[in-house]
Chain A
Amino acid sequence: MNIAAWLILLLPLFSAVVIGLGAFRSRKVSAAISVGAVVGSFLLTLLLIRAGGELRTSVTWLEFEGLQIDIGLQIDTLSKLMLCVVTGIGGLIHIFSLGYMKEDMDFSRYFAFLSLFVFSMIGIVLADNFVMMFIFWELVGISSYLLIGFWFDKSSAADAAKKAFLTNRVGDFGFLIGILMVWAALGSVGFADLSNALSGETAAVTGLAGFLIFCGAMGKSAQFPLHVWLPDAMEGPTPVSALIHAATMVAAGVYMLCRVFFLIDGTWAMEAIAWIGGLTSLMAALMAVQQDDIKRILAYSTLSQLGYMVMAVGLGSPDAAMFHLSTHASFKALLFLGAGSVIVALHHEQDIWKMGGLRDRMPRTYWTFFIGTMALCGVPLFSGFFSKEAIIDVALQSNLLLFLVAVFVALLTTFYMTRLFIVAFMGEPRSAQAKRAKESPALMTVPLLVLAVPSVLAGYYNAHAPNPLVLCASLVMLVFGMLVANTVYSGAKADPLPARFVWLAKAMRGRFWFDEMYQWLIDRVQENLAKLAEAIDRRVIAGLMVRGTHGTTELAGRVLRLTQTGNLKAYAFWFAIGMAALLVFTLS
């Protein structure tokens, strides 16, 4: 079984290396290796689940007295569930990519990067200690950078990749300091050791350490205030958005919080986490209401749903968070891939106002997208219903204000998804491309159909009887949201909201101007500091110490210049004098 666990991790790495070292010359071989690796990992995951039980295996990476860093795998219920999500949904996305990226000149490079990404993500899932998690955390950062900037010739894609990486780095900074604090307080970085150490003394880890660790999750899971990278990251190929921004990378933050929940439980960090999650879910849902790009709507929706999960962790229920994570992974991947199918059919048109009438032209995409939308809105009996109920239920029991936020977000979710669905798929085509749209090939629609199954059914593995109050609240919101969106957008030629709510719509479209604020801050603080440092370097340090254009500095320079001739003989001479002085000095 140990071998199986290692293979799950190493197969995708093997794929990335082999493609990188030469298999890239053949598109078919590259794709086969990459898809084979992820499917292999998935099958081995199923094998492990069948075998049951827990498993720990590790090799030492670095070892000192008092600091041992392992590359260790921890297979338990939590990591098995996450492995299923990552390799299962990841595998379908690989297959979808075969069709989506068919025309791309860098087809092989794409699959090498996908494999690298899956390897890094599996590393996070299996990590049994903080440092290993941080290592793979960084690797996920870089492989997502490579994927987001896959079309790097395009300036916007290159910029988006850079922004994603740097925003994540800010979070990682907190994460690293948090790890150091935990290690200093408890003497280990291994999760098992930490858990044992904690059981002895209570609350040995401060809320500050917990919060700093959460900063890492803030970056990866795109929580406020580090959420700004995710919408831009839609510059990557659409299957990448499905992989990174629905099923895996953004879920890594939530997964990590669940993994180290024992450390943060009971500290003030929990409160902060819950509020940041709630705030993110609200803000992102508001932004989603006024976006016109199909992928951006889904991106903001992802932010909002991640906010739900983070809030659930903060409110003390990692189970609810993981539940929603797993259902969300399948239906959001379905929605992203559905969007990808639409985008390909419309020759890379992403504006929903240039779509319309796709229902009859792309029936399979339409129906699967429909299922995804229902699941996301939380229509009863779809998977999203159960997991969302679970989170709202947790909120109701511990924090009334956050409960209200969660319910309001549910309303907004229904509203913007209905808007997207009606505008993109119903009514008449609003552009020439939409008129000519054709259903995508089977390579792309089959993964959609396969993903539709868990989008409906995934909720049942953990379904509880819903709390009546929660059920009522969310059903009212669901119906209300759908009705309003239907009234506003059914048959609309353009969005009527901006005309009616000028300022609100502007703020929503402008994403509440966070990017502008950050840019201003970076320009004022970072750039000015850098300018200052450079000026000191040029004028003061270099100037005073060597350039010496004035007075004594110049004089000293001139005298010294006589000795520094660049002439080998002169140096040999000085060297000999030095040695002679040394000898005289020591002999006397």
Chain B
Amino acid sequence: MTKLKTNNVSKGNMARYIGIAAIVAILLSLPAWGGKYAVMMVMLMGIYIALGQMWNLLAGYSGLISLGQQMYIGVGAFTVAVTSNYLGLPLPLGLVCGGLVSMAIAIGLSYLLLRMKGMYFAIATWMFAEAMVLVFVSIQFLGKGQGLFITAARKLQAADVYYYSIAILIISTVVVVVLLRSKIGLGLFAIRDNDTAAETSGVPQFRSKLYCMMVSSFITGVIGGVYYMSQVWIQPYAAFSISWTVAAVFIVVIGGIGTITGPIIGGVIYVFLSQYLSTLSQIGSLSQVILGVIAVAVILLAPKGIVGTVQNRFGFEIISVRRWMGKYTDRLPEPTEA
């Protein structure tokens, strides 16, 4: 049984905001003083943390376990390539287009996907993602199996992509916090815990889940665009690979599902581990095996992930989306009976 911390939250707020501001300042100034390798690492962390936040929004807060996030990565990346190569649009506009196309696909699929729950939803999202890559590799102007170069991205400096990555990191985290602190967020929590009771308590289930999918698909699409701007070349089988979702699951599970800071910690660990392990071993896939073993160990030893376990131990959340009762009970009349 957990007794959660109730009031005096405001006292710690100042320190928290200063801490967050300091981290943001360090992130924004990094290219000025950091090495090339550090910039690349943090750039990857930004991308993977944002990816984790978006999977966590679906799975950790709304009970929608998606195995199809790679669909939005691929669509977002290809949209950036098509809009900049063929239509001559600037890259930032291409990123927004990538988000919008991903969102449009999510809206279209939602009418089928949101009729399914749990494992059925998971399998269906994966199936659609697999179908999507088959469509993409059969279209001539998308380069068939060869994929496309984002020509305009060749001129980008490492620092340019870095700032896109930091922007998407901050935006994804802020959007999740704002969404979850809104009434929609409360409804999503309820659906996650018990969808029947949520419906009979007035929560419009389809609409709430749809909002959630729209946000997640838009931002994941932008993430795909940013990542492939750093890579310049989009290889369709890699862009639509399930390994994107596997990474997101790893990040969220070891960081702490259903927490805001979980994907942040998980993303940092994931990037360090995957970089270190890929330089360590000659066999490329060995790093995947080790990541898998770590995930299994965390699930067995600390099923709530690193952040979830620490929060339970100390009854403290760094970024909380809880609604505490404290400020409303002060104004209540004294109870009439003991």
* Chains A and B bind each other: no
- Residues of A near any B CB (own CB < 8 A): none
- Residues of B near any A CB (own CB < 8 A): none
